[in-house]
A and B are shown apart, each in its own frame.
Chain A
Amino acid sequence: MKLHLTINGKARTLEIAPNALLLDVLRAAGCKSVKKGCGEGSCGACAVLINGRPRNSCLVFAAQCEGADILTVEGMGTPEHPHPLQEAFIKHGATQCGYCNPGSLIAAKALLDRNPSPTVEDVKEALDGNLCRCTGYVKRIEAVLDAASLGKK
């Protein structure tokens, strides 16, 4: 079946199987930042924004995204023009292996979009679905808070 959607600002028409999951469709469409970590909604490595909501793309049928606006980390910023969150992740050492980064950056962006001045508790809550085995989360939380404070300036 045909699927019409916007990926990172670009209108796309994709041919998909009815049972295809968004994760696989996005990766096939070139968004390799969307990572598969568990395939069961637990790790958050596949999180993308769907109409502004951060969701696990492994648990979304691609077909649910007809007309949807999808944002992946590729669309958040580029090396030349990174998003403040991406810069903050580097600055604070929130990236180690980086495999979980795209998902957690998406979750962090969703938080700041709704709540530009989060508390530590807000950040912990908003990123609770993004497992990271490398960093112990401390630096990631610092990074999000720092990006938020930059956003306010």
Chain B
Amino acid sequence: MPTTEKSRKKAPARPAQGGTSATPARPASLRKTSATHSPKASAQAPAKPPARSAGRAPANAPHQPPAPSGAKAPVKSKVQAAVKPADKAPAKAATRQTPAQPRGKKVSGKTPSQVPDKATVKTAAQATTKAVAKKAASAKGEAPKATTPFVAKTPAKPVRKKTPAKVTPAPQTRAQQTSQPSTPTAAPKVVEKVVEKIVEKVVEKVREPSPIPQYPLTYERPDHFHVVNHSRYKLDGMSLVTGAPKFTADIDLPGMLHIKVLGSPHAHARILDIDTSEALKVPGVVAVYTWKDVPRVAHTTAGQGYPEPSPYDTFLLDSKVRFVGDRVAIVAAETPEAAAEGCRKIRVNYHVLEPVFDPTQARRPGAPIIHDEPDCKAPLPIFYDPKHNHCAHVETKVGDVAMGFQEADVVRERTYYSHYAQHCPIEPHVCVSYLDENDRLVLRSSTQVPFHARRITAQTLGIPLRKIRVIKPRIGGGFGAKQEVLLEDVCALVTLRTRRPAKWELTRAEEFMAARTRHPMIITIKAGAKKDGTITALSMKIVSNTGAYGSHALTVVSNCGSKVLPLYKIKTIEFVGDTVYTNLPVAGAYRGYGATQAAFAVESMMDELAEAIGMDAVAFRQMNHIREGETSPIFKALGEGREGVSMVIKSCGLAECITRGMKEIGWAEKRGRGRHAPGPRKRGVGMCCLMQGSSIPEIDMGSVFIKMNEDGSFNMLLGATDLGTGSDTILAQIAAETLGCQHDDIIVYSSDTDFTPFDVGAYASSTTYLSGGAVINAARQVRAQILAVAASMLNEPVDDLTIENRVVYGKGRKNKLTFAQICTFAMYEYHQFQIAAVGSHVTHASPPPFSAHFAEVEVDTETGQVKVLKYVAGVDCGTAINPQLADGQTQGGLLNGISFALTEEYIFDDKGRMLNPNFKHYKIFSTADLPEIVTFLVPTYEPTGPYGAKSVSEICINGPMPAIANAIYDAIGVRLTQPPFTPEKVLAAIKEARTAKK
């Protein structure tokens, strides 16, 4: 697979990092030089393509399908031109964003004047880029137009194809294009420097123009959908329900070692000495490693785009432990029991240090310094002050908040607390490692981020990235917990040192204590409104507790603003987020990613404001929420480790989510009534509104490779990672829709760093929106190739051809060819070539899905027990590619949110030890706790998303905490600020309110 191999080489740029750097420093010239195909790598491909095509990967065009033999330049353009008009929808889509009316311009034209000044800097940069690009293009004698046939807007020269002999696929000159949305054509060499300079100044993060094609930035809404927007069955469903051995731990390898990692009993200690001699004597123990035996490379476990916005503060093993459960030593043994026994026999001499658990104390002078090692650092030039346990800082301002508060008729202020929680995938983290027959290291891992896992493992161990292959089989849930590289480095170490397969599977207790958690936060929010309902000011100050390591420390707290504040029109905003280290379990990515915590505070505050001005909570939100055609300065102000991307809302179904939800819950009849009912049990209803994002714009990239088989089926190799959500199925539906076949004609293989092209992985609600775009991109190319072959076979112009369910029809449906016939012809008959293409995608927006949640609760005022009677959620996720799976995401997310709001919590003793690291005492809901749940989708069409799709996976987990808190308030007039709302806490709050009244 020459194309994947080559694109893999285009590893993310990284600065040189001293001797330990695992990824080769990016050669600036790589893109320009023709990357020669690595014969070694291709030899490992089981589905090795025929040597002749493998050797023919066209230089300078890593994303191109292999050129057929005898392809000649002049033919190219003919086919290109011929292909274009046939694909009507894309062609139309293309006209929407012709270079003549650059998208960026349109957007900025709509951008309200309150966009902060800062924003203009980048616009200037873009403008310059555009200008330079144009110049460069004309200098080359090119028309300033997109050269991808599917985006081209210039009318095609009518080409009558008479001779099938000239048929070739439609190769593109994508290498000459950039991902800049407003750059019609870019001459990379010239633009590169200019962009680098300016962007460096603005965001201090070098991003070169990417050689990937200029995508259609909008997707035309078709008359009707054939495959998408239908609840097709999940492709892997049958194998899952029949128990096929598809998960990481389901393979047995001869001689496999079992790994156990000794966890620290102390929250903060220095390891003075470790004696492993007794452990090594335990029968079956094969190896024991301590910090003395392993490379020391500062890295982050956060599986994020490179360079990561999380600090490099983690080591494979260290001489210091920073939380209870932190890695102390690694034992590999013949059996799990021997490994456990080995751990017990390790003698560690600790110098126990004073810990700090309270995030408000962590930054105080004299507080114990958790990361006092000299080599921790932030890989990006962002704020990082470990000497004060200050892990990350973000702030932004819109307008003058002081003025805003003055303008307000009412001002409310309150502090909200969001608590520790775990994702609880039913499959804990697990990784199996082995050396394959070519001596390459294979990591079969339950991960959401196989490509990041490969990169970070290479970095941590100081081994070449090319030595590693990461395979993600089926995984048993992730929810963000597996967006983290937690096991791979240890498995890799053991296998490389012992040359034996190894397996490490976390126990449930380890999953709770040593995997990742949701960042607990203290959110102080102050807001002001006028009597007419205008929100004049909002100030939100957050202390986020990242625990002992700074995984996702900055980005989660940034998301508290960026995924919550744009929801309402607020005249002035002040947002400050500070993330601190403590000696508690490590936080990380968790579905919702900061929005969960912040939505609790903001949505509670919205109710407070509404009450203060005497307005209905729904009416207040209806008046203030963002709508289509509107924007928020926050989009631009808050990005991920840098500035964000400004964006105008192009689809918003929130209004309908609200009105339908009100009906479902009986808002008009119930709101404000329950409190006065007789008896100790009071009922109430509450609601909240939500938004999230879809992908991380202009940072994340996904790619896809599609090739056709002679029975008319397609292999789709996805970098994207299905963590159980059904994304393999959804992406197959998108491919099928584009190609004109059924979703089970697509054979999906995903997430294997050797065989699938790159994708950042499953996070940030990006797979459908981002990777779906890549699918369309690849599928359109393949479709064009199919049509080109068919045109030559039928001797009809491509324009006259139509595709319907695996059949290409000629004009007037007189002639037809099946996909199988077409591919067979292309493979065996004449001018043979592989119908195939790679598509990549970077998004330039992160359109928010919207949702309105309604809860009806019953509060037992004598015991404090809260029961959710009914829960209603309406979601606008754009086009639901698979409505049933989208609904499943909604229901799963909100039930997780409900038990997070009511029962899930970490309970620590005064030494920082978690007292309830098991499902016996960390209670997640079962069917027996399930309230009545009503969910519905409100279809909208997001023009920047594949077939109108946005995202759906994260948003709904954010609702239950505020909706339930607001419902409790409605029932008993007590505002709860410290979830989970356990009976004990609720009763205490009721009593407190009673004494306050007296």
Contact = CB atoms under 8 A, between A and B. Distances in A.
Query: A and B: direct contact (Cβ < 8 Å)?
Result: yes
A100 to B, nearest CB: 5
A135 interface: yes
A79 B237 CA distance: 10
Interface in B357-410: none
B93 interface: no
Given A93-B884, A133-B425, A98 B474 contact: yes
Given A99-B724, A123-B927, A43 B426 contact: yes
Interface string A129-141: 1111111111111
Contacts of A95: 234, 237, 240-241
A135 B426 CA distance: 12
Given A129-B926, A131-B426, A132-B426, A97 B920 contact: no
A134 B724 contact: yes
Given A43-B919, A98-B241, A137-B930, A90 B234 contact: yes
Nearest to A33: B243
Contacts of A33: 242-245
A57 interface: no
A136 B894 contact: yes
A136 B242 contact: no
A80 to B, nearest CB: 10
Contacts of B726: 96
A124 interface: yes
A40 interface: yes
B126 to A, nearest CB: 40
A33 B724 CA distance: 16
Contacts of A38: 508, 918-919
B352 interface: no
B723 interface: yes
A35 B893 contact: no
Contact of B243 (A72, A92, A125, A134): A72
Contacts of A5: none
B728 to A, nearest CB: 12
A135 B891 contact: yes
A78 B244 CA distance: 9
A127 interface: yes
A45 B425 CA distance: 11
Interface string B214-248: 00000000000000000101101111111111110
B334 interface: no
Contacts of B245: 32-33
Given A86-B242, A90-B237, A138-B933, A96 B892 contact: yes
A35 B476 contact: yes
B990 interface: no
Contacts of A98: 236-237, 240-241, 246, 474, 476, 724
A90 B924 contact: no
A102 B477 contact: no
A138 B242 contact: no
B926 A131 contact: yes
Given A74-B242, A98-B240, A102-B243, A135 B892 contact: yes
Contacts, number: 180
B428 to A, nearest CB: 8
Nearest to A127: B927
A18 interface: no
Contacts of A91: 233
Contact of A101 (B241, B505, B920, B930): B241
Contacts of B508: 37-40
A105 interface: yes
A90 B928 CA distance: 22
Interface residues of A, number: 53
A97 B474 contact: yes
Contacts of A92: 884
Given A99-B426, A124-B928, A135-B888, A82 B920 contact: no
Interface string B910-940: 0000000011100010111010010100000
A151 interface: no
B424 interface: yes
Most buried by B among A32, A33, A72, A96: A96
B539 interface: no
Nearest to B886: A93
Nearest to B479: A133
Most buried by B among A31, A36, A72: A36
Contact of B920 (A40, A74, A128): A40
A143 B508 CA distance: 29
A60 to B, nearest CB: 18
B94 interface: no
A37 B426 contact: yes
Contacts of A40: 508, 918-920
Contact of B892 (A35, A77, A131, A136): A136
Contact of A136 (B241, B247, B249, B933): B933
A49 interface: no
B895 interface: yes
Contacts of B78: none
A12 B590 CA distance: 44
Contacts of A134: 477, 724-725, 888, 892
Nearest to B478: A97
Contacts of A86: 238, 241-242
Given A37-B508, A133-B892, A99 B243 contact: no
Interface in B222-279: 231, 233-234, 236-247, 249-250
Contact of B477 (A127, A129, A133): A133
Interface in A68-94: 72-74, 76-79, 82, 86, 89-93
B632 interface: no
Given A45-B427, A127-B927, A131-B424, 20 more contacts: A32-B247, A33-B245, A35-B247, A42-B919, A72-B243, A79-B239, A90-B234, A90-B237, A93-B231, A95-B234, A95-B240, A96-B724, A97-B426, A99-B475, A101-B243, A123-B927, A128-B926, A128-B928, A133-B425, A140-B927
Interface of A: 31-33, 35-40, 42-43, 45, 72-74, 76-79, 82, 86, 89-93, 95-102, 105, 123-125, 127-141
Interface of B: 231, 233-234, 236-247, 249-250, 423-428, 474-477, 479, 505, 507-508, 723-726, 884-885, 887-888, 890-896, 918-920, 924, 926-928, 930, 933, 935
Those 4 A-B pairs whose CB atoms lie nearest each other, nearest first: A97-B724, A33-B243, A99-B476, A98-B240
